[in-house]
Structure 1
Amino acid sequence: MHAITKGLLAGAAGTTALNITTYGDMLIRGRPASGTPDEVVGELAYRTGISPGDPKHGPNRETAMGALFGYATGLAVGAAYGAMRDRGGRMPRWLAGPALGAAAMAGSDVPAASLGVTRPTSWGTRGWVSDIVPHLVYGATTAMAYEAMPARRGLLRRRAA
């Protein structure tokens, strides 16, 4: 299996694990979903002059696009990991999970902070834990899923006739 394909699949597994962790936290604490992804999409739409639609449908499109951005981030980090591994890049196994989690977290938090949608300095302990833990779960799952998949095989050999 090609390393980038492995990375995409591992990133999909990690993204699923991140979502399960996040929704589990919402269930246990009774907290609402974060509006940050929707707000990022809204801010991007405003800055680019693209309307998400009328007042009835626009907010729904922003919510959907925010979720799709999250999936894209998870898949992209996984694919990048696969590409790095394909080119001989290695890191200690204990570091792969946290590094992938940090990359995915940066992929969502940096744009949100850069657009002024959120200020991480104001999050507090609960806010940071709610962000860090799911991303660490993402990273660990992505790294383990990648390692669990078979390595790329060489060219098929012809059987001797």
Structure 2
Amino acid sequence: MRVTCPLFLVRRTYGPCGRQSAGTASTAGRLLRGMLRGAAAGAAGCTALDTVGYLDMVVRGRGASTTPDATVERLSQVVRLPVPGPPGVRANRVAALGRITGITAGVGMGATLGLLTAAGWRPRDATLTATAGVLALIGTNGPMTVLRVTDPRTWSASDWAADLVPHVAYAVVAAAVFKGLAPDARSGNEAGRGPRSWCEAVRLRFT
């Protein structure tokens, strides 16, 4: 026995404009979820980047990079917003701000990746990983280069290795987490979804 549904109820459910008004995420919601998914992947990538960097410090016995601190100092001068406090306290604040800028860049680049995919970009796995790495390099080295804190053209091979290896770790982990957080392709609106319009609902009902 087939149960029919009055047409006016179908129209109410799916809206007079022909688009489903219930059960379908809005464009803004989809973009927001994509950004949050990317931000989470970026945060995981930051953890991988920092871990590889610290392991390199242990193996080679080198000190921490001073470019994040120099970037904060330079940015403070450019925007004319000094970091307050006596010398010792101020140095600690600058160091903390340097670390925060790195985390912000990593999470922000991940959010950008999530926004791109939520907007419809569907890259292959290798392209996704490469894009994550390029975005991370731009997000971290870009500001330092623009502010003239460093010049990549003068870097030695060991400098490039010390910079690229952690960013590769960031890209691999961020891409893996990003894919792991992807909604199941067999759930939601991709599979078993209802009709998107009342017109489609009526057509399906009588076919």
Does residue 41 of the first structure (1) align with residue 72 of the second (2)?
yes
Residue equivalent to 2:176: 144
Residue equivalent to 1:132: 164
So what's the TM-score if we normalise by structure 1? 0.90
Does residue 21 of the first structure (1) align with residue 61 of the second (2)?
no
- The gaps in structure 1 that reach 5 residues or longer are none
Does residue 84 of the first structure (1) align with residue 113 of the second (2)?
no
Q: Which of 30, 35, 60 is equivalent to 2:61? A: 30
Q: 1:150 Cα shift?
A: 4.0
Q: Matched residues in 2 for 1:115 and 1:99: separation?
A: 24
Q: Sort the Cα spacing of 1:42 and 1:125 in 2 relative to 1 into closer, same or farther, 3 A.
A: same
The SS at the match of 2:48 is: helix
Residue equivalent to 2:147: 115
So what's the TM-score if we normalise by structure 2? 0.71
The answer to whether the Cα contact below 8 Å between 1:96 and 1:140 also exists between their aligned partners in 2 is no
Q: Matched residues in 1 for 2:57 and 2:152: separation?
A: 20
Residue equivalent to 2:131: 99
For 2:53, the aligned partner's letter is T
Q: Matched residues in 2 for 1:3 and 1:50: separation?
A: 34
Deviation track 1:109-158 (CA, whole Å, cap 9, x = no partner) reads 1111111111111110000011111111101111110111141745xx9x
* Bigger radius of gyration among the two: 2
Between the two proteins, what is the percent identity of the paired residues? Answer: 33
- The gaps in structure 2 that reach 5 residues or longer are 1-29, 194-207
For 1:73, the aligned partner's letter is A
Residue equivalent to 1:9: 40
Root-mean-square deviation over aligned CA pairs = 1.6
Deviation track 1:33-60 (CA, whole Å, cap 9, x = no partner) reads 1000000000111222222122121111
For 2:121, the aligned partner's letter is G
Q: Matched residues in 2 for 1:31 and 1:97: separation?
A: 28
Residue equivalent to 2:81: 50
Q: Is the helix fraction higher in 1 or 2?
A: 1
Poorly superposed stretches of 4+, deviation over 6 Å: none
For 1:142, the aligned partner's letter is A
